Amino acid sequence: MGLREVSSDYTVSLHYDRRLYRHDIDGSIAHARMLAKQRIIDGGDAEAIVDGLQQIRQEIETETFPWRPELEDLHMNIERRLHELIGEPALRLHTARSRNDQVALDMRMYVKDAIDDTLSRLSRLRHSLVSVAAKHDDVVMPGYTHVQRAQPVLFAHHMLAYFDMFSRDTERFGQAKSRADIMPLGSGALAGVPYPVDREFVAKELGFARVSTNSMDAVSDRDFLLDFHAAAAICVVHLSRISEELVLWSSAEFGFVTLSDEHTTGSSMMPQKRNPDFAEIARGKSGRVFGNLVGLLTTMKGLPLTYNRDLQEDKEGFFDTADTLLATVDVCAGMLDTMTVNGDRMREAASSGYSLATDIADYLVGKGVPFREAYRAVAEVSDYAAENGRRFDQLSLEEYQRFSDRFDEGVFDVTVESSIAARSVPGGTSPDRVAEAIAAARQTLEDEIDG
């Protein structure tokens, strides 16, 4: 490959920006209709332009469109094809428009659609979490801090923690859509256009809430893409966290869940293995999403106003993030929908060890023992039990009383069930609070559909 061929290919974006064809055509149709409405171009020319663009859309969707890589990008390919189809009227389409505000328009339209798709997929994932929680609302498991068993909780409470995480993601993407919902067309190259355009008309035609207020900012702003990347990066953190738990829980050491054959694979060497590959890949995908965010931040940080060709680099990373995010949300929902919850194993893990230590300390507090003194006594009981290889419920009252004379038979009433039931504060893990949380989550999802 010669230097001339390398140089000519270097600026080509057609292989990825052709994904914008629907938005580019819709934007051009709205622009042509506005030009005719404002009598900037003849109405007959506008009709020919619209008909030609609709034919081009059909050609692209039926894969008969004659793409020409030498024209570099989507926009020039459509413009050239339109001229081939309708002749001279095609030359009037670009009146009162620059490539700069045209590209900004296409990207904002695409981002809005990508967010709608993301919100739909997140809704499905949140439904899956609520469904799993409701189906296993009586399953007890150990809660963890530092990956050490801490206190017993309901498995449903654990699942609803992720519901809250993905609900915040839903809110963030909604906010990102609101900031993307600004129509830039009419900004021209950077200073506006010297024609009596009706920007509000175009905004209404294309479903935008408002028009941009500064032409220089409008053509060079990519904050709406950074918003998407940032929301996606936080969302994949949550996806990675739940994937990590599914990896741990499906191991023999935990045995809390069994992932379906659909979401596991065998080992190439060890026939007994069922590897949680989907969860591991979902966990690993977070890195590329983080990288795309950092990539665009780095591209933007040194750009003077207004448009610079560096902004061509805003698309590939965004498309990759959108594709990666949607696929990973779907995979996580699928794993939740098809996994088997091993409730007995979870209950055994919650009962073994010393996860009731805090409850026993609280029991002493209820007898008037200062918390720090109760904490010390129960820590000593825990050490004693561990040294002798016994659980709390295997100790005698006399053994308890070695560490505090305030212990009585009531210590044996401290159980996993009593521990969970006692935590009935708002947001707690008690069965009544978890039932309320499941109902509230279902109502939230219904309200989103109605809204």
List, by residue number, the catalytic residues. Answer: 146, 267
C-alpha to C-alpha distances, 388 to 86, 299, 392, 395, 399, nearest whole angstrom: 90, 62, 11, 10, 12
What span, in angstroms and rounded, lies between the C-alpha atoms of 448 and 247? 31
Spatial contact of 109 and 177, defined as CB atoms under 8 Å apart = no
What span, in angstroms and rounded, lies between the C-alpha atoms of 230 and 249? 29
Residues ≥6 apart with Cβ < 8 Å to 410:
363
C-alpha to C-alpha distances, 349 to 141, 148, 305, 339, 395, nearest whole angstrom: 7, 11, 60, 19, 19
- Look up tokens 């020319």; give the residue: 45
What span, in angstroms and rounded, lies between the C-alpha atoms of 279 and 413? 40
For 300-337, b/e burial (b = at least 16 CB within 10 A) is: beeeeebbeeebbbbbebbbbbbebbbebbebbbbbbb
Count CB-CB contacts under 10 A for residue 101.
27
What are the start-end ranges of the H helices in 339-430?
Answer: 343-351, 357-365, 371-387, 397-401, 416-422
Spatial contact of 135 and 340, defined as CB atoms under 8 Å apart = no
Q: Strand pairing of 257-258 and 340-341?
A: antiparallel
Distance of CA 99 to the CA centre of its chain: 31
What span, in angstroms and rounded, lies between the C-alpha atoms of 135 and 120? 23
Name the helix (H) or strand (E) containing 124. helix 99-135
What SS3 class is residue 25? helix
List residues bridging with 153 in a β-sheet. Answer: 141
Sign of CA dihedral 24, 26, 31, 36: positive
